[in-house]
Structure 1
Amino acid sequence: MTRVSVMSSRIEEAAGVLRAGGLVAFPTETVYGLGANAEDAAAVARIFQAKGRPASHPLIVHLADAARLGDWVADVPTTARRLAESFWPGPLTLVLRRGRRVALEATGGLDTVAVRVPAHPVALELLSVFGGGVAAPSANRFGSVSPTTAEDVRAELGDAVDVVLDGGRCDVGVESTIVDATGDAPSILRPGGVTREDLDRVLGRPVAVHATSRIRVPGQHPSHYAPRARVVLVDAEDVVAEAELAQERGRRVGVLLPPQLAGTQVKTQVQVAVPGSMAAYARGLYGFLREFDQHGCDLIVASLPREEGLGLAIANRLRRAAGPRSTE
Structure 2
Amino acid sequence: MSSTPPDEPARQAADVLRRGGLVALPTETVYGLAGDARNAEAVAKIFAAKGRPVDHPLIVHLGDKAKLTEWARDIPDAAWRLAEAFWPGPLTLVLRKAPGVLDAVTGGMDTVALRVPGHPLALRVLELFGGGVAAPSANRYGSVSPTTAADVREELGDRVDLILDGGPCDVGIESTIVDLSGEDICLLRPGLITAEDLQRVAAEPVTSRPKAGVRSPGLKDSHYAPRARVLLASMDDADGEIERWRASGHRVGLLSARRPAALAPSVPWLDLGEDVFEQARVLYHHLREADHLGLEVLVAVPPVETGPGRALCDRLRRAAGLGSGGA
The answer to whether TM tops 0.5 is yes
One-letter amino acid of the counterpart of residue 308, structure 2:
L
Q: CA deviation at 1:75?
A: 2.4
Residue 75 of structure 2 is matched in structure 1 by 76
Q: Does 1:39 align with 2:66?
A: no
User: Matches of 1:314 and 1:263 in 2, distance apart?
Assistant: 24
Residue 250 of structure 1 is matched in structure 2 by 249
Q: Equivalences for 1:86-165 in 2 at 5 Å?
A: 86-165=85-164
Q: Equivalences for 1:309-324 in 2 at 5 Å?
A: 309-323=307-321
Residue 272 of structure 2 is matched in structure 1 by 274
Let me know the Cα RMSD of the aligned residues: 1.8
Q: Where does structure 1 lack aligned partners over 5 or more consecutive residues?
A: none
TM score, norm. by length of structure 2? 0.94
Q: CA deviation at 1:197?
A: 2.2
Residue 229 of structure 1 is matched in structure 2 by 228
Asked if the contact 2:256–2:273 (Cα under 8 Å) also holds between the matched residues in 1, the reply is no
Asked if the contact 2:256–2:302 (Cα under 8 Å) also holds between the matched residues in 1, the reply is no
TM score, norm. by length of structure 1? 0.94
Asked if the contact 1:244–1:266 (Cα under 8 Å) also holds between the matched residues in 2, the reply is no
User: Matches of 1:210 and 1:253 in 2, distance apart?
Assistant: 36
Residue 286 of structure 1 is matched in structure 2 by 284
Q: CA deviation at 1:184?
A: 4.4
Q: Does 1:19 align with 2:11?
A: no
Q: Does 1:193 align with 2:192?
A: yes
3-state SS, counterpart of residue 154 of structure 1 = helix
After superposition, the Cα gap between the structure-2 partners of 1:75 and 1:263, relative to the gap in structure 1 and judged at 3 Å, is farther
Asked if the contact 1:88–1:117 (Cα under 8 Å) also holds between the matched residues in 2, the reply is yes
Asked if the contact 1:247–1:268 (Cα under 8 Å) also holds between the matched residues in 2, the reply is no
Q: Equivalences for 1:254-265 in 2 at 5 Å?
A: 254-259=253-258, 261=259, 265=263
Q: Where does structure 2 lack aligned partners over 5 or more consecutive residues?
A: none
User: Matches of 1:109 and 1:251 in 2, distance apart?
Assistant: 43
Asked if the contact 2:95–2:180 (Cα under 8 Å) also holds between the matched residues in 1, the reply is yes
Asked if the contact 1:92–1:176 (Cα under 8 Å) also holds between the matched residues in 2, the reply is yes
User: Matches of 1:33 and 1:40 in 2, distance apart?
Assistant: 17
Aligned residues: 322
Asked if the contact 1:252–1:268 (Cα under 8 Å) also holds between the matched residues in 2, the reply is no
Q: CA deviation at 1:38?
A: 0.3
